[in-house]
């Protein structure tokens, strides 16, 4: 279902975490629902022109804990994409505290991906140039959706979502392997509550979503890191084992949000590389 957006103060009261310092969080062209829940929606933005446009499907961070962040803080990035000829679907989803975690968040991510085909039918979008984008905790859906899943996965057997690439902004490449570093970034235990236990308590869950056992079926994966250490060589190799070209751009000294803040000096340094991936070049 498509809902027209009319409010000029669409993000009033939302915490944008400073990402709108240089670019306003303009309202979306439409809101598309992928379920009946309060947070089961994605915001669609389309560039000016006839297309067909590449599509970025964006997943926000927030340490998978309700109350920290929503899709709102990723809207300046979506607006920047719109200015550069890229359509976007900026997705909200349930987190720990409002029905998310294992398996609720995964159910939302998978359901949100069903909107990609709907958008490709109704709007001038190039279905062959889809990039999954995740910041911080949003790295997990950006990579997981591109992975084939077995019966042990959080939503059961699933084929990978048909996408060309993934861009990860300061997020983990493997949640289990990077649990300590990600909890440090969040400044509280985030991984265990989200997964429903430690790696020792529910090892099958961590294995089911690890790129070490389910490599993403993508052509390209780009990591843009700042505060979080880059994934290990072992993880990067696992992500690329199905044929993905994997690259890492490190931004020493940059903040966690600067890398998703259009107009920031750090963001500007990465713009050209980001656009190449998003445009499928």
Total Cβ atoms within 10 A of residue 183: 15
Query: How high is the pLDDT of residue 21?
Result: 92
User: Which residues of the chain fall below pLDDT 50?
Assistant: 1-8
With vertex at residue 275, the alpha carbon angle to CA 167 and CA 20, rounded to the nearest 5 degrees, is: 80
**CATH 3.40.50.1820 for the 16-279 domain, yes or no:** yes
Query: How high is the pLDDT of residue 202?
Result: 98
* DSSP helix/strand/coil, 196: coil
Span 183-215, pLDDT tens digits: 999 999 999 999 999 999 999 999 999 999 999
Please, what is the average pLDDT of the chain?
Answer: 95
Global pTM reads 0.96
Within 8 A by CB and 6+ apart from 157, the residues are: 149, 150, 151
Query: How high is the pLDDT of residue 201?
Result: 98
């Amino acid at each position: 279902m498509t809902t027209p957006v009319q409010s000029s103060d669409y993000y009033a009261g939302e915490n944008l975490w400073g990402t709108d310092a240089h670019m306003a969080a303009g309202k979306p062209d439409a809101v598309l629902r992928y379920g009946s829940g309060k947070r089961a929606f994605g915001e669609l933005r389309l560039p000016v022109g006839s297309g067909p446009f590449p599509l970025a499907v964006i997943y926000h961070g927030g340490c998978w804990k309700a109350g920290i962040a929503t899709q709102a803080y990723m809207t300046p990035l979506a607006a920047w994409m719109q200015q550069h000829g890229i359509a976007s679907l900026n997705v909200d989803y349930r987190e720990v505290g409002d029905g998310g975690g294992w398996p609720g968040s995964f159910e939302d991510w998978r359901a949100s991906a069903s909107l990609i085909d709907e958008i490709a039918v109704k709007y001038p979008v190039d279905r062959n140039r889809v990039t999954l984008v995740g910041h911080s905790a949003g790295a997990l859906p950006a990579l997981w959706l591109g992975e084939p899943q077995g019966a042990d996965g959080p939503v059961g057997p699933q084929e990978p979502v048909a996408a060309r690439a993934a861009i990860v902004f300061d997020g983990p490449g493997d949640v289990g392997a990077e649990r300590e570093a990600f909890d440090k970034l969040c400044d509280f235990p985030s991984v265990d509550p989200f997964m429903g236990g430690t790696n020792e308590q529910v090892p099958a869950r961590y294995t089911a979503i690890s790129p070490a056992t389910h490599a993403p079926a993508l052509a390209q994966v780009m990591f843009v890191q700042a505060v979080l250490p880059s994934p290990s060589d072992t993880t990067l190799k696992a992500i690329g084992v199905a044929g993905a070209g994997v690259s890492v751009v490190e931004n020493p000294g940059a903040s966690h949000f600067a890398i998703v803040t259009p107009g920031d000096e750090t963001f500007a340094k990465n713009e050209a590389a980001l656009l190449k991936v998003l445009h499928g070049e």
